[in-house]
Amino acid sequence: MKNLVSLYEAKTQLSTLLREVEGGAVITITRHGKPVAELRQPIAKNKARRGSLKSPNFYMADDFDAPLAEFAEYMTTAEEESLRVAEKLPVPSVKARKKK
């Protein structure tokens, strides 16, 4: 069958056209001689590979989640945080912390 097919012909012979597409053909459907759609096989998507961090080349430091010294002035201790929650005090602004 030819690669250009009219809309009427596509509707009446859809099963035949799909068999051709399964074989690797690309069919262009036309309306009044102008292409409007293509029938082709779906593009296979790459699946996510699970467990890629189990590679022998992967390394994570023991202290990867330790607080950085550069941000110490922005952090509060657990004791200050528990007092603030208990007393429902507002969180001090960055400017207030810098004045200390």
Q: Note whether residue 45 is domain-resident.
A: no
- CB count in 10 Å sphere of residue 16: 13
> What's the number of domains the chain is made of?
2
Q: Note whether residue 62 is domain-resident.
A: no
In order along its 100 residues, the chain shows pLDDT tens digits of 458 999 999 999 999 999 999 999 999 999 999 999 999 999 888 776 666 666 777 778 888 887 777 777 777 676 666 656 655 656 666 665 555 5
Phi/psi at 46 (5° precision): -75, 130
Phi/psi at 70 (5° precision): -65, -25
Q: Which domain holds residue 31?
A: 4-39
Q: Which amino acid is at 78?
A: A
pTM above 0.85, yes or no: no
